[in-house]
Amino acid sequence: MADKRTAKLTLDDGREIVLPVFEGTEQECAVDVSSLRKETGYITYDNGFVNTGSCQSTITFVDGEKGILRYRGYPIEELAENCRFVEVAYLLVYGALPTREELDNFSAQLTERANIHEDMKHFFTGFPVAAHPMAILSSMVTSLSSYYPTSGDEEWNFDDTVARLIAKVRTIAAYSYRKATGEPFVYPRGDLSYCENFLNMMFSGEGKNYEISDKALRALDKVLILHADHEQNCSTSAVRLVGSSRAPLYASIGAGISALWGPLHGGASQAAVEMLMAINEDGGDCGKYIAMAKDKDDPFRLMGFGHRVYKNYDPRARILKQSCDEILDELNIDDPLLSIAKSLEKVALEDEYFVSRNLYPNVDFYAGIIYRALGIPVNMFTVMFTLGRLPGWIAQWYESTQDPDWRIWRPRQVYQGETSRAFIPIDRR
Ligand code: SDX
């Protein structure tokens, strides 16, 4: 039996505690502090959980130093090049690349469950035209639990719920766009694939001769694959946290959508393009915006840059940057924002401020250029991130529910408020 690995912690009062150490399959080592408070009364403190592992997972591996990303062991580069999004969704949720038959069955399930309950269409009437589609999406997805069995119900079935969520969230996303444009909803079709249906529901309709191009489809598949999972990021942690109370999967996904919305997370795809648009309107002066990003007194940040884990080039950004060139060439689009993005990247990566902090373009920096080329409006960019990330969230939620050591997540705190004091009646305050 190999010697048990341990770490010894000596506290400021001289007491020592020996804690177990364990290692992951990619040689990441962890000190298990589960017994720390019980044995010493001390807790750990880790602002932003920079150094804290919340779980053990077999789904996605990220090496931030080397710029490596793998879903279930498969390099993201190979999946993005060779797969359709639905195939990768299956891989993430079920842990293996599907056979042809498994993929056909999964696709058929998505087609069968693509419509939302007709009553849910009335929800859209209540939203103002200017409602942000992420607000619509998060509320509609949680509301799915009012129409379909949820975990805890006798008739609940995980596979059915997976298909419902992946198919219906796509439909709700397209409807939220049609709500904003005032156009009639286009229903999903049984003869179209997942991505074909999305583009068709977004852009076709009476009097429109919208043709789905293979190049647009290929670009959409690839961009969704690149967003499909990313270990324990903010929104995935929200999904796991809500799921840890045994809340329904729909509610956990609704929480993930809300967390993704923030501009420091998935909302950065919208913020990054808005930044590029501002630079373009400002004469393309990248230096001015680089200076603002470096100025500690200026809240401006280079959106789509930097990452908690990647201290090297985000492999997804590398693929997206190349895809931008391909899709714009193929669709014969000249988007000035792409050259501004490339100039901004070049200036930043030659600047000591960014180099010394290992700040590189992340997944959100180039994604918006592709969405624009597909005709998707800026306020839908984080919705696109949601469509991509959904299978990852589902896989992570399910993995947490299968954990034999499953516990509700309930962090501790260090209290810094008032110590005990006597109550003062209102007439004497
Ligand atoms: C995603 O976690 C994931 O995996 C997320 C994601 C996924 O797939 O789920 O990869 C998707 O959310 C990507 C990130 C999208 N967000 C943005 O692009 C917003 C801009 N980026 C930053 O706000 C920031 O880089 C974060 C939020 C991404 C990371 O924040 P951290 O890890 O808390 O880093 P930090 O804020 O502590 O920054 C460290 C230093 C600071 O300077 P100093 O205090 O050392 O002087 O770097 C600076 C920061 O000021 N810095 C930036 C910067 N990002 C960090 N300065 C200017 N512009 C930036 N973008």
For residue 271, the surrounding DSSP H or E stretch is helix 268-281
Question: CATH says 2-63 is which class?
Answer: mainly beta
Nearest CA to ligand 1 atom 46: 296
**Residue 69 burial (10 A CB sphere; 0-12, 13-18, 19+):** buried
- Rounded CA gap, 376 and 396, in Å? 28
For residue 19, the surrounding DSSP H or E stretch is strand 16-23
- Taken as a whole, the chain contains a residue count of 429
Beta strands in 48-115 (DSSP E): 60-63, 68-71, 74-75
- Rounded (5°) CA angle 72-74-79: 115
Whether residue 239 has its Cβ less than 6 Å from ligand 1: no
Nearest CA to ligand 1 atom 39: 357
Whether 227 sits among the annotated catalytic residues: the reply is no
Q: Which residues pair with 70 in a beta bridge?
A: 61, 75
Whether residue 306 has its Cβ less than 6 Å from ligand 1: yes
Of 391, 398, 407, 371, nearest to 54 by C-alpha is 407
> What are the sequence ranges of the domains in the chain?
2-63, 74-262, 268-373
Q: Measure 267 CA to ligand 1 centroid, in angstroms.
A: 13
pLDDT tens for the chain, residues 1 to 429: 557 999 999 999 999 999 999 999 999 999 999 999 999 999 999 999 999 999 999 999 999 999 999 999 999 999 999 999 999 999 999 999 999 999 999 999 999 999 999 999 999 999 999 999 999 999 999 999 999 999 888 899 999 999 999 999 999 999 999 999 999 999 999 999 999 999 999 999 888 888 999 999 999 999 999 999 999 999 999 999 999 999 999 999 999 999 999 999 999 999 999 999 999 999 999 999 999 999 999 999 999 999 999 999 999 999 999 999 999 999 999 999 999 999 999 999 999 999 999 999 999 999 999 999 999 999 999 999 999 999 999 999 999 999 999 999 999 999 999 999 999 999 999
Catalytic residue among 364, 403, 405, 427: 364
Q: Which CATH number fits domain 268-373: 3.30.460.90, 3.40.50.2000, 1.10.230.10, 3.30.70.580?
A: 1.10.230.10
**Is there a common fold for 74-262 and 268-373?**
no
Whether residue 265 has its Cβ less than 6 Å from ligand 1: yes
- Rounded CA gap, 136 and 127, in Å? 8
Measured CA to CA in angstroms, residue 310 lies from 164, 263, 360 at distances of 33, 18, 8
Give the up-direction half-sphere exposure of residue 384: CA atoms within 13 A in the CB hemisphere.
Answer: 31
Is CATH 3.90.850.10 the classification given to domain 74-262? Answer: no
Measured CA to CA in angstroms, residue 87 lies from 107, 220, 363 at distances of 9, 14, 21
Catalytic residue among 229, 307, 314, 335: 307
Whether residue 323 has its Cβ less than 6 Å from ligand 1: no
Whether 307 sits among the annotated catalytic residues: the reply is yes
